[in-house]
Chain A
Amino acid sequence: MKIVVPVKRVVDYNVKPRVKADNSGVETQGVKMSMNPFDEIAVEEAVRLREKGAASEIVVVTIGVAEAQPVLRTAMAMGADRAILVQTEAALEPLAVAKLLKTIVDRENPGLVIMGKQAIDDDMNATGQILAARLDWPQGTFASAVSVENGRITVTREADGGLETVDLALPAVVTTDLRLNEPRYATMPNIMKAKKKPLETIAADTLGVDLAPRLETVTVIEPPVRKAGIKVASAAELVGKLRDEAKVI
């Protein structure tokens, strides 16, 4: 079975995002970029499925600028076999991303797509669900455990009130939650090997997909800042303040 793993290059999670002065978006120039943490979990899970013999090939895909290539190399250093960059300068919305991913899935014919549940920049939490809808495949979102057997996948999902289990026919789309696994670090020899693995570039506008945005960003602003309050010296003083000053207990 082949697994396709879409990965996104995002502002590193350790960086404190800054809103641009013209309120058109968040500054991404000169900022450390990395693979979306949920996508690292997706790559790791694909590699583990291959190690268990449930998968034979792992193809990672990103949609973005040429500078996104290092993210693909990282995924290959973690164990993916080859990579596809669908190149575009446009900031695409999940609907367009899902449509582009569908063209890749149609071409690659995988048994499984594993991807992050959300990208930590736009926090949309939508691309996997949209892709599943457009493929007419079942979906197992917010996965904290998966197991593949006899052409089906069992997915344990982080639901509102506890853990939910669904059993899906393959092919299917799975989106990863934080508890699915702890991604490995790429070792130096694997980083070297990854440099030689195949990376194909496809121009997004050759795929016959309508990429026109459906959303117009009116403004992006900083949220109101919350100021630090006071320090209290004891639990008794704290309770007094909460009762008499804040009146919340």
Chain B
Amino acid sequence: MTTLVLIEAEGASIKKASLSAVAAARVFGAVDVLLVGAEGAQEAARIEGITRVLHADSTPPLAECIAALIADRAAQYDHIVSAATAYGKNILPRAAGLLDVQPITEVIEIIDADTFVRPIYAGNALATVRSRDAIKVLTVRNANFEAAKLGETASAPIESVSAAVEIPDARFVGIALTHSDRPELETARVVISGGRGLKDAENFKLLEPIADRLGAAIGASRAAVDAGFAPNEMQVGQTGKIVAPDLYIAVGLSGAIQHLAGMKDSRVIVAINMDPEAPIFGVADYGLVGDLFEVLPQLQAALEA
């Protein structure tokens, strides 16, 4: 039994979410990883427990091309896995479509080679599903799987691959990356998120010194993103990013079910809200009822004390 894991690099390093996908896939047996793009193969070869690195260095970063590449080689595999990031969720269902397979997305637990648990209805129910497809195509939530480790040396062989298929006419124009020196939202140990209660983009910056102090990533509710306080890739929730840090601090956000879907598996949740009835308090380990504009400076001071 061999599994193909589609991994992703950022610059020369492999994304942590991809390392979690590799770790999840190892329960099935041997693992080959597929990396698309010029950089990252050296680090990919250091991932512990993999058999080889398939490096598609000249394939454009487009779902059309990558799905074709996967489908082209799929016959050698019984599982095809990636992280349930926007990258994986764009590509894997397309590959499944080419293979006539029903994909299983957002897997949080692997029961056996055919049986998986995934949340439905914004995490209000957990469905256990068994696949009858010969090849299983899965995306897995990194928050639920430990990351595979990187070894000292690049021990897995790197093989260059490319797709020999015609792909539909699509062109990659570019990506405007939001640069941040903070940890990645999906894998950060601490996340501090702001909601509509912060009132404007200027105030949203009140979260920054606290995030700096805690080494935290910054997240946002949909209302905060829609109102332009924060960029879209910071959205936490059913339709944004799913996080499960050790500590999640929710500031001026109410805790709508769509938001809870993205953070309720955090180990410790703190809520700061002036409305004692806000649903966020229903899931918070520590609740502080108060005006965030008073509480945040006090919190900063207390952290520095």
Q: A residues bordering B, Cβ < 8 Å? A: 11, 13, 16-17, 19, 26, 38, 93-95, 98, 117-118, 120-127, 129-134, 136-139, 141-142, 144, 154, 157-169, 172, 177-179, 213-223, 226, 228-236, 238-239, 241-242, 246, 248-249
Nearest Cβ on chain A to B155's Cβ, whole angstroms: 28
Report the minimal beta-carbon distance from B215 to chain A, rounded to whole angstroms: 9
Per-residue A-contact encoding for B117-158, CB less than 8 Å = 1, 0 else: 001111111111111110000000000000000000000000
Q: Please, which residues of chain A bring their CB within 8 A of the CB of B303?
A: 239, 249
Docked-complex contact A136 and B168, CB < 8 angstroms:
yes
- Provide the residues of chain B in CB contact with A162, threshold 8 Å: 175-178, 231, 233
Segment of B30-38, B72-80, B98-106, B193-201 in the binding face: B98-106
Is the CB of B1 closer than 8 A to any CB of chain A?
no
Chain B interface secondary structure, helix, strand, loop or mixed?
Answer: mixed
B49 at the interface (CB under 8 A from A): no
| Top 10 A-B residue pairs of the complex, sorted by shortest distance between their CB atoms | A133-B97, A130-B97, A229-B285, A169-B169, A235-B298, A129-B93, A138-B170, A214-B102, A126-B93, A165-B173
CB distance from A102 to the nearest CB of B (A): 10
Task: Given A94-B93, A138-B169, verify A232-B286 contact (CB < 8 Å).
Answer: yes
By the criterion CB–CB under 8 Å, are A248 and B247 in contact? yes
Cβ–Cβ < 8 Å partners of B214 in chain A: 249
**Which residues of chain B come closer than 8 Å to A229, judged between CB atoms?**
269, 284-287
Query: A139 — which chain B residues lie within 8 A by C-beta?
Result: 63-64, 90, 94, 170
Q: A126-B93, A138-B169, A234-B298 provided; 6 other pairs, C-beta below 8 A?
A: A26-B125, A120-B121, A164-B176, A166-B171, A213-B102, A220-B120
Q: Find chain B residues with CB under 8 A from A129 CB.
A: 63, 67, 90-94, 96-97
Is the pair A154, B173 in contact by a Cβ cutoff of 8 Å?
yes
**A217-B132 Cα distance, complex, nearest whole Å:** 11
The answer to whether A164 touches B175 (Cβ under 8 A) is: yes
Contact with A along B168-211 (1 / 0, CB 8 A): 11111111111000000000001000000000000000000000
Q: Given A118-B239, A133-B67, A94 and B287 touching (CB < 8 A)?
A: no
- Is there an interface contact between B106 and A161, defined as CB atoms closer than 8 Å? no
Contacts of B92 in A (CB 8 A): 129
- Tell me which of A130, A141, A144 contacts B90 (CB under 8 A): A141
Given contacts A13-B258, A26-B121, A178-B239, contact A214 B177 (CB under 8 A): no
Chain B residues engaging chain A, CB cutoff 8 angstroms: 10, 62-64, 67, 85-87, 89-98, 100-106, 115, 119-133, 168-178, 190, 214, 222, 225-226, 231-233, 238-239, 246-247, 257-258, 264, 267-270, 281-289, 295, 298-299, 301-303, 305
Contacts of A123 in B (CB 8 A): 105-106, 119-122, 238
Could you tell me the distance between the alpha carbons of A215 and B116 in the complex, rounded to whole angstroms?
10
**Nearest A residue (CB) for B133:** A214
- The 15 listed contacts between A and B (C-beta, < 8 Å) are A13-B258, A94-B102, A124-B105, A133-B97, A139-B63, A139-B170, A165-B174, A166-B62, A166-B171, A178-B222, A217-B128, A218-B115, A222-B125, A232-B286, A239-B303
Measured CA separation A169–B298 after assembly (Å): 54
Instruction: Identify which of B97, B132, B169 contacts A134 (C-beta below 8 A).
Output: B97
Partner pick for A235 among B62, B258, B288, CB 8 A cutoff? B288
